[in-house]
A and B are shown apart, each in its own frame.
Chain A
Amino acid sequence: MDGADRERLLGRLRDVVGDRYAFADPYEMRLYQYDASPETALPDIVVIPGSAAEVAQVVKICADAKVPITARSAASSLAGGTVPVKRGVVITFARMDRILEIDGDNLRAVVEPGVVNLALSQALKPLGYYYVPDPSSQGACTIGGNVGTNAGGPHTLLYGVTVNHVTGLELALPSGELVQVGGRKAASASGYDLTGLFVGSEGTMGIATKIWVKIQPLPPVQKTLMAVYPDVETASNAVSAIVRSGILPAAIEMMDKLSIQAIEAASHAGYPLDAGAVLLLEVDGIPALVDELGERMAKVCRESGASEVRVAKDEAERQALWKGRKGAFSAMGRLSPDFYVMDGVVPRTRLPETLAKIDAISVRTGFKICNVFHAGDGNLHPLVLFDAFKPGQYEAVLRIGDEILRLCADAGGSVTGEHGIGLEKRENIRYIFSDDDLEVMDRIRRVFDPHGLMNPGKVFPGDGLESAPSRAPEHAPRRASAVAGDGDVWV
């Protein structure tokens, strides 16, 4: 965008949101070039709208001018999801952070996209409800961002991820319209499930300006157990043993020795520094049941090789354990100046062999790799520790990340469980999807965003958006006799 175009566009945007909330000063643009990933790119203009109506106008102005739009809330993406790699306009939701309604009777809440995940659960708590998905970054990440990435968290093992808890959306479309899809009802029979399709589309289909979420009664009691294992392999075999035992806990998290060291250095959560690996397990329910399940689970843990099983004796101890776990990524700073986190998924039964292979990569390359992850889901978060101030390390670490994702894909898993493809993994997506798979997805994207303006450069490999998908000529009706020879498979 040249200077004159930018000024013109800025003027129109300021007419909508006011001078203070639209700016293009190159200095200020530098503050919107990053998120929590290693990726960076500068936008041309930043807009901070105050309402859905303003978002709709902003989107229309940008769409008319064919300028890319990237939505950004907390910018806590670990995959570069909010980095404006094709420049254009960044829309942030710092002012749209209102909880619009809490409707306990219908078990729903309605929020603006900038509402912080934890703030919603805190507002619900006095009423006896909570919002289930709890990403480790829940103290910062927003419901809008959660919708974008279909965020998960430790407690989604039993209760499901974001898409299972969103029932409706208001979308700002490039036409300038605000359209409501889904809503307050539990079920839907009004055409295609656009809500479900939109959740997890990482901003490439449009922008959600209002979100209807399910809320759920708080469990009467939660019991957290910590099982100490001599090594990662025994601990990951124990995960399968627990699942096979017929108890599906609310959460099963694993931390290896290095992670425990980092966590303890950061928060003194109470993890044993001499453990080879630790499983953090949680069951919730009525008191009598939770006691029974806790005992059964402790028994399974011991039988599967745990040297010690400790039950958090009070809420303070329980909170400390979870605080340590949720702060684990950031705590890595205590071990190393930089880290690179992956988000691969493997079937639970493939955990031991996958972890062994990751360990082999660490030994081979000399880079330390920590593992702290959602073991119950098979959702790995290997953290490769490095020092960006040592030339060559970053490139080496990117190669390691790529190798790990390949491993996960080959084990029948996925290259992202909750962080999203974003900018970072758009080439890795090919490890699990064929060109045909991606072509169908791209076709759907174009329905929402025909000009490739919504968070361009994300999700799809390469610059795939610029090349039109083959608009199959075979769609024209024509004679079929040429293939009638296939008839033998038809009866």
Chain B
Amino acid sequence: MAEPATLDFKRQIDRDGVPSVAAGIDMDLVRDCIHCGLCLPKCPTFRSLHHEGDSPRGRMWQIKEAALGLVAFDDPRFQAHIYQCFNCRACETACPSGVQFGAVMEMARAMTPPQNRRDRMVRAILLNGLLPHPRRLRIAGWLYRATRAARLPGLLRRSGAWKVLPLGKFAAFPPAGNSAPRQRPLPALTPAQGTRRARVGLLIGCIQDEMFHGTNQRTALALSRNGCDVVVPEARVCCGALASHAGEAQTAERLAARTMDAFSGQQLDAVVVNAAGCGSNMKEYELQLRNDASRREAGVAFSRTVKDASEFLVAMGLRPPTRRIALRVAYQDACHLVHGQKVHQQPRQALKMIPGLELVEMQESDWCCGSAGVYNLTHPEISEDALAWKIRHIVDSGAQVIASANPGCILQISMGLQRAGRDIPVVHVMDLLGWAYGDEGQAPPIVRRAMA
């Protein structure tokens, strides 16, 4: 077999001139990586798999080689390494060169379909078949809540059926949250309480509103208590985060446009998002819409108005909640908040405002829990490895409750803790804040006791 040439760019260029680069890959972004290796110790898949090809540096290198035609985008080994990435972007935080890993990864995924059958199925059903369609989503949400109301999770656990059914582990160990099949939609306007300080839009999201409707209510409450008029657009929109992170570029672009339209013309000071993955995605619309001349500029402007809920509230100056919640709470950094949006301190600051709440730190709070969008469905084994680390650190931290800021993380960690027999509920930062502002809904028993 003929050996491929090594990628000795520099000498090759001196000899043959500048190579042509595959369309669809922005080589300037790829070349930001100087392969120094500082990202390796922060990569969860490198820790699990020990293979350079499953490290951020290795992935950048492969994308560089593919862009230059040294390996093929549809090489199954290329696809395997590229789709084995959580895209948690911890490497971006570690990178001193400022490599936009997430953006490069999304470009690379857009160049090649996923290789494994499970991955293709998840895409067809979930990313393209369900999330973009409000009516289907509502039906799915109703079904989900109905099964909970019918105590299906307990049945699954007792029978052991969860171990073999698709999505069984998530159905058997659902998070604290909505279980009533019917729910009232959030009002189109929740008026500000006290002095009016801002007018904001709230993204209620797709999965978020079906599974964590109460969290949305409490987010709106927290915003209104802090003097915000909270506007919820009539059109149910999915922001396209899961599609975009998985490299489903067309779906993502379409959903981005729809989301921008939903919030347009409302004179909003900010669009507030309580799901980290969505917020991170919406802050990057300018990147996704770079090929759409009609929306490129609007995308830039829109991205600037997007704020994570805790980021927005802390920047505005949180009005102190009055109700005590005497709990030891650890905050789990959602990847797309800490790495994607560089929001690290604000959720902690918000939690510390709650009287009686003791914030403790777990080790590796900024490591991915393995949820990673649809990753826990497409790559369950690697996902489970990351979850096992997370559960160990949570138990070691001595926290009574875990707070996070993304529905995927809450589902995954909640499942992991319950399965491990730990009664440590996982809730959203906005849940705790909402309860502290007087909301009564859906607090897990340990929280209710702590509020007494």
Binding site for B on A (CB under 8 A): 3, 21, 25-28, 30-36, 38, 40-42, 48, 74-76, 92, 94-95, 116, 118-119, 137, 139-141, 266-267, 326-327, 329-331, 333-334, 337-339, 388-395
| A42 to B8 alpha-carbon distance, docked (Å) | 11
A334 to B99, CA, bound (A): 10
CB closest residue in chain A, given B16:
A391
CA distance A26 to B2 in the complex (A): 10
* Contact call A267/B7, Cβ cutoff below 8 A: no
In the complex, are the beta carbons of A137 and B34 less than 8 A apart?
A: no
Complex CA–CA separation, A137 to B8 (angstroms): 23
Residues of chain B from 166 to 206 with CB closer than 8 A to chain A in the complex: none
A393 / chain B contacts, CB cutoff of 8 Å: 10, 14
Q: Is B36 an interface residue (CB 8 A)?
A: yes
Is B11 in contact with A394, judged by CB distance below 8 angstroms?
A: yes
Min C-beta distance of B99 to chain A, whole Å: 8
Given A21-B50, A30-B61, A31-B58, 7 more pairs with CB closer than 8 A: A40-B6, A95-B50, A119-B41, A141-B37, A266-B96, A333-B34, A394-B13
CB distance from B234 to the nearest CB of A (A): 42
CB-CB under 8 A from A327, the residues of chain B are: 96
How many residues belonging to B are interface residues under a CB distance threshold of 8 Å? 43
Which chain B positions have C-beta within 8 A of A92?
A: 50, 52
What chain A residues lie within 8 Å of B78 (beta carbons)? 27
- Residue in B1, B37, B61 whose beta carbon sits within 8 Å of that of A140 in the complex: B37
Chain B residues closer than 8 Å to A33, beta-carbon distance = 6-7
A-B contact pairs, 8 of them (CB 8 A): A28-B77, A30-B71, A34-B7, A35-B35, A40-B7, A75-B37, A76-B38, A390-B18
| Closest beta carbon of chain B to A144's beta carbon, Å | 14
List the B residue with the shortest CB-CB distance to A114: B50
**Chain A to chain B: the 8 pairs with minimum beta-carbon distance, closest first:** A327-B96, A330-B96, A394-B10, A94-B50, A76-B37, A333-B97, A330-B97, A31-B52
Query: Which residues does chain B contribute within 8 Å of A48, judged by CB atoms?
Result: 50-51
Given contacts A30-B71, A31-B62, contact A331 B97 (CB under 8 A): yes
CA distance A36 to B57 in the complex (A): 10
Q: Residues of A contacting B28 with CB < 8 Å?
A: 337
Give 1 or 0 for each of B256-292: 1 = CB within 8 Å of chain A CB: 0000000000000000000000000000000000000
The reply to whether A388 and B13 contact each other, CB–CB distance below 8 Å, is yes
Q: By the criterion CB–CB under 8 Å, are B94 and A139 in contact?
A: yes
Residue among B14, B32, B38 with the highest chain A CB neighbour number at 10 A:
B38
What's the least CB distance linking B343 to chain A, in Å?
Answer: 17
B380 interfacial by beta-carbon distance below 8 Å: no
**Set of chain A residues within 8 Å of B46, measured between Cβ atoms:** 94
> Which residue of chain A has its CB nearest to the CB of B9?
A388
Q: Are A26 and B37 in contact (CB under 8 A)?
A: no
- Known A-B contacts A3-B1, A392-B14; the reply to A334 vs B51 at CB < 8 A is no
Q: Which of A25, A139, A391, A392 contacts B41 (CB 8 A)?
A: A139
Complex-state Cα separation, A140 to B62, whole angstroms: 20
Q: How far is the CB of A27 from chain B (nearest CB, A)?
A: 5
- Residues of chain A contacted by B52 (CB below 8 angstroms): 31-32, 75, 92, 94
The smallest beta-carbon distance between A328 and chain B, in angstroms, is 8
Evaluate contact between B61 and A31: CB separation under 8 angstroms. Answer: yes
What mask results when residues 20 to 38 of chain B are scored 1 for a CB within 8 Å of chain A, else 0?
0000000010011011111
Against A, the Cβ 8 Å flags (1 = close, 0 = not) of B74-98 are: 0101100000000000000011111
Query: How far is A137 from B94 in the complex, measured between Cα atoms in Å?
Result: 11
B358 at the interface (CB under 8 A from A): no
B17 an interface residue at 8 Å Cβ cutoff?
yes
Asked if B51 and A94 sit within 8 Å, CB to CB, the answer is yes
Residue ID in chain A nearest B81 by CB atoms: A31
Closest Cβ neighbor of A331 among chain B residues: B96
User: B222 at the A/B interface (Cβ < 8 Å)?
Assistant: no
Which residues of chain A come closer than 8 Å to B31, judged between CB atoms? Answer: 337-338, 389
Interface contact B61-A74, CB-CB below 8 Å = no
B299 in the interface (beta carbon within 8 A): no
Q: By the criterion CB–CB under 8 Å, are B8 and A40 in contact?
A: yes
**A116 CA / B46 CA spacing, docked (Å):** 14
Q: Mark B391-416, 1 if CB is under 8 A from A, else 0.
A: 00000000000000000000000000
- Select from chain B the residue with minimum beta-carbon distance to A263: B96
**How far is the CB of B15 from the nearest CB of chain A, in Å?**
8
Contact status A137-B38, CB under 8 Å:
yes
Q: In the assembled complex, how far is the CB of residue B56 from the closest CB belonging to chain A, in whole angstroms?
A: 11
Q: Known: A26-B1, A94-B46, A330-B97. Contact between A140 and B7, CB under 8 A?
A: no
Q: Taking A36-B37, A92-B52 as contacts, is the C-beta distance between A333 and B32 under 8 angstroms?
A: yes
Q: Mark B47-69, 1 if CB is under 8 A from A, else 0.
A: 00011110000100110010000
Chain B residue with Cβ nearest A398? B10
Q: Which residues of A sit under 8 angstroms from B10, Cβ to Cβ?
A: 38, 338, 388, 393-394
> How distant is A169 from chain B, measured CB to nearest CB, in Å?
23
The answer to whether the Cβ of B329 comes within 8 Å of any Cβ in the partner chain is: no
Residue of A30, A388, A389 touching B4 (CB-CB under 8 A)? A30
**Does A330 contact B71, Cβ atoms closer than 8 Å?**
no
Complex interface: chain A residues within 8 A of B17 (CB)? 391
Judge if B40 is at the interface, Cβ distance under 8 Å: yes
Closest to A394 in B: B10
Q: Which of B3, B35, B51, B58 has the most C-beta atoms of chain A within 10 angstroms of its own C-beta?
A: B51
Measured between C-beta atoms, what is the minimum distance from A407 to chain B in Å? 23
How long is the Cα–Cα vector from A74 to B14 in the complex, in angstroms? 29
A337 to B33, CA, bound (A): 9
Distance of A28 Cα from B14 Cα, bound (Å): 26
**Contacts A34-B61, A42-B6, A331-B97 given; does A27 touch B71 at CB 8 Å:** yes
CA distance A33 to B70 in the complex (A): 14
Q: Given the complex of chains A and B, what is the CA–CA distance between A27 and B53 in angstroms?
A: 10
- Docked complex Cα distance between A160 and B39 (Å): 27
Rounded to whole angstroms, the CA-CA distance of A33 and B53 in the bound complex is 12
Q: Which residues of A contact B3 (CB under 8 A)?
A: 26, 42
Measured in the bound complex, the distance between the Cα atoms of B86 and A466 in whole Å is 46
* Complex Cα gap A217–B17 (Å): 55
Q: What residues of A have a CB within 8 angstroms of the CB of B32 in the complex?
A: 333
In the assembled complex, the Cα of A384 lies from the Cα of B75 at a distance in Å of 36
Which residues of A sit under 8 angstroms from B35, Cβ to Cβ?
Answer: 34-36
Min Cβ gap A320→B in Å is: 13
In the complex, which residues of chain A have a beta carbon less than 8 angstroms from the beta carbon of B7?
30, 33-34, 40
Closest-by-CB residue of B relative to A138 is: B38
- Bound Cα distance from A329 to B95, whole angstroms: 11
Contact at A26–B4, with CB atoms within 8 Å?
yes
Contact present for A140 and B6 (CB under 8 Å): no
Distance in angstroms from B64 CB to nearest chain A CB is: 10
Cβ–Cβ < 8 Å partners of B38 in chain A: 76, 137, 139-140, 330
Chain B residue at minimal CB-CB distance from A37? B35
